[in-house]
Structure formats: C-alpha cells, structure tokens
C-alpha cells in the first residue's frame, strides 16, 4: 500500500530499531532515563528554550500547554481549522475548563493576522464576558495544507500578545517542515512563543512521542501535569532513542517529501475536474478539490484503495501527505491512478 493518509504512518527505520534495542533506560518518572534526558536536553538546545519534556503525543503536549497557560473560564483564540480546536476532542474544555474562540483567517492560509486575532480577543471587557487567556498558533498548518508561518509573522503576533500580557503557544507538530521550506531554524520560527510542541512521530519518522518546550518553571509544572494525565511512562528510553535519531536525521530528508508533494500537486493540477492552488503546496501536504469530477471524495478514495493507494477524503477535498515511506515512483503511481479514476 502507498499510504498517503498522513505522515503519522511512518515506520521506524532500521537505524531507529537498532538504537531502540540498544537504548540505555531508567525510570523516567524519577527522571532517571538517560536516553530521555539526552533527547530533552538536545531538543531544548535545538529550539534554544530553557527546558523540554518528552510527552506521549502531540495532543497531550498541546493540552498540557493550554492548561498551564490558562485559568478555567477563560477563552483561547485560534484559527478556525486549528488542530487544538477541531481534532483534540474538546480536551481544552474537558481538561482546562476553557472555551475556544475560533477565528477565520480571511486569506485561508491558516495563519491569522494580528488584526484578525485582535477581533477575537476579550480583554478589559465587562466581568460577564469570558476573558482571553491564550493564543494558539500552528506551524505548519495541517488543514490549511501544510502552510508555513514566517518567523517575522510569529514574532509580531507574540510581541503584540505579550504587550497585552497574553501567552502564545505554538502547535509546531510539523515545525521542521516549516523550517525546511522557509530556510529558517526552528529556534527562530518559535523564538517569541511561550511554549512549543513539536512531534517526533510525523515526518521525522519516530514511532511515537512529541516534545513540549518552555521555561524551566513551565516544564517542571508540565511534568506534574503529564503524570496527572497518565503520561508518566517509565523506561521510555526505547522510544527516546528513536526520537533522538528523528530529531538529528529526520529534518535532513524533509525536502524530499516536499518535492514529492509538489510533484503530486502538479500531477493533480493536470487532471480535469481537479482544482488545486499550487501556491499552497509549500510542504508535505497536498489538498485538492474534486467537486467538478462529480464524484464523491469517499468514492475516489475507495477506488484509490483498490489500486493500493490510501488517502483521506473530506467533503469535496482529498488530502494526501508525503513522508519518508513514500518514494517518487509511488507518487507517479498515485498520479497514474488518479488519472484513471477521475480524468
């Protein structure tokens, strides 16, 4: 199967598997797993943040950040297709007691301008209006098609937010993809953010795990909350060993995924019935509209599956994500299959 449903489906490499087998481990709840500690220290160094914490999933990293930055009864402001709003099962409400104020990005890049964010803020309002407690950003933006937020844009939002004493959390699940496309170090892309989550188990290729970054005090509190949420995982040096390889080696090959995504985007653009704005294919996510084919996206995905290709359909759109287990010939096969099904 050519699995283009997500970059979460990547399998650990042979190098990762042997590092996992050889990993030195200890009880991470006691802070005694040397491999986890090495991974956390290295991540903090790469992002130039004070401290880092290994968390089982990106969702847990995001939700720990939401909880630590807010008080129950507050609101968080986020772009209306953001992961924290749409795909974390209401966790911000359940765990942190906050409501979400989704704001639409007029240009549909997924990255709100400060004016758009400002329109969703509640600061200094009468006491019966829920005050804003946090702004959440996402880079790259998953459901806007892997779009990149520049370091300057992020810095401007953070500075304006900080002027209002508002913290900013970055859902950087795919921040290394943003870094490769913008040719900007991840530390610069997230410099002004109060906390950052990035994922080891997507394009970087690890089997599991994400990292939450922030100040030492923030990460101390995050460690307590991770345990409270059931995320204290003991001898996880076996996972951290793969995570270290993901962190060091993973970013080096993301450009190949981006090139494959563009190849796929161009191939799809040539098909009658498909609409795609190629400017939006900036990283490893390709989303195209199939409304003019008069076929349902579910139907197209089933026909692709019969030809050995997995993709995700939603509404009139199909999403395909490139990653380390998808090759250029796989992309050509996918274009050929799409041609047979919808051209």
Ligand X SMILES: Cc1ncc(COP(=O)(O)O)c(C=O)c1O
For ligand X, the binding residues (CB under 6 A) are: 8, 57-59, 62, 83, 138, 142, 171, 173, 199, 210
- Which residue blocks in the chain are alpha helix, DSSP H? 14-22, 34-47, 58-69, 83-86, 91-96, 114-119, 151-163, 175-182, 186-189, 216-228, 237-249, 254-269, 297-306, 328-342
Look at the block and give the residue holding tokens 């993809």: 177
- Of 69 and 271, nearer to ligand X (C-beta) is 69
- Of 62 and 334, nearer to ligand X (C-beta) is 62
- Of 214 and 267, nearer to ligand X (C-beta) is 214
**Closest by alpha carbon to 148, among 285, 297, 22, 288?**
285
- Of 147 and 293, nearer to ligand X (C-beta) is 147
**Closest by alpha carbon to 82, among 209, 165, 200, 169?**
169
- Of 195 and 293, nearer to ligand X (C-beta) is 195
- Of 5 and 17, nearer to ligand X (C-beta) is 5
Q: How far is CA 290 from CA 107, 191, 209, 287, in A?
A: 21, 39, 34, 10
Angle between helices 216-228 and 58-69 (to 10 degrees): 120
Q: Are 174 and 321 in contact, with CB atoms under 8 Å apart? A: no
Q: Are 75 and 279 in contact, with CB atoms under 8 Å apart? A: no
Q: How far is the CB of 163 from ligand X (least distance, A)?
A: 27
**Closest by alpha carbon to 261, among 315, 179, 208, 203?**
203
Which DSSP state fits 1?
-
Q: How far is the CB of 142 from ligand X (least distance, A)?
A: 4
Q: How far is the CB of 295 from ligand X (least distance, A)?
A: 26
């Amino acid at each position: 199967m050519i699995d283009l449903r997500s970059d979460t489906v990547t399998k650990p490499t042979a190098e990762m598997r042997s590092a996992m087998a050889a990993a030195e481990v200890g009880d991470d709840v006691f802070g005694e797993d040397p491999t986890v500690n090495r991974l956390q220290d290295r991540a903090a160094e790469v992002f130039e943040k004070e401290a880092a914490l290994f968390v089982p999933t990106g969702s847990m990293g995001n939700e720990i950040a939401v909880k630590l930055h807010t008080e129950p009864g507050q609101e968080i402001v986020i772009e209306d297709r953001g992961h924290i709003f749409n795909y974390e099962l209401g966790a911000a409400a359940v765990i942190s007691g906050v409501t979400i104020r989704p704001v639409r990005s007029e240009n549909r890049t997924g990255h709100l301008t400060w004016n758009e964010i400002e329109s969703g803020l509640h600061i200094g309002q009468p006491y019966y209006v829920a005050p804003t407690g946090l702004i959440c950003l996402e880079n790259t933006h998953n459901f806007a098609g892997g779009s990149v937020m520049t370091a300057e844009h992020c810095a401007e939002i953070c500075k304006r937010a900080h002027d209002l004493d508002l913290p900013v959390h970055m859902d950087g699940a795919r921040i290394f993809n943003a870094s490769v496309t913008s040719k900007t170090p991840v530390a610069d892309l997230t410099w002004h953010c109060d906390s950052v989550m990035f994922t080891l188990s997507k394009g970087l290729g690890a089997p599991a795990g994400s990292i939450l970054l922030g100040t030492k005090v923030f990460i101390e509190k995050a460690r307590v909350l991770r345990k409270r949420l059931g995320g204290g995982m003991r001898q996880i040096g076996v996972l951290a060993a793969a995570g270290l390889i993901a962190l060091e080696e993973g970013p080096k090959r993301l450009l190949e995924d981006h090139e494959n995504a563009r190849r796929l985007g161009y191939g799809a653009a040539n098909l009658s019935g498909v609409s795609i704005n190629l400017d939006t294919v900036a990283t490893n996510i390709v989303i195209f509209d199939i409304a003019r084919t008069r076929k349902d996206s579910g139907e197209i995905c089933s026909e692709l599956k019969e030809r050995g290709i997995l993709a995700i359909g939603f509404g009139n759109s199909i999403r395909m994500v490139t990653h380390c287990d998808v090759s250029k010939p796989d992309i050509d096969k996918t274009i050929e299959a799409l041609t047979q099904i919808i051209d």
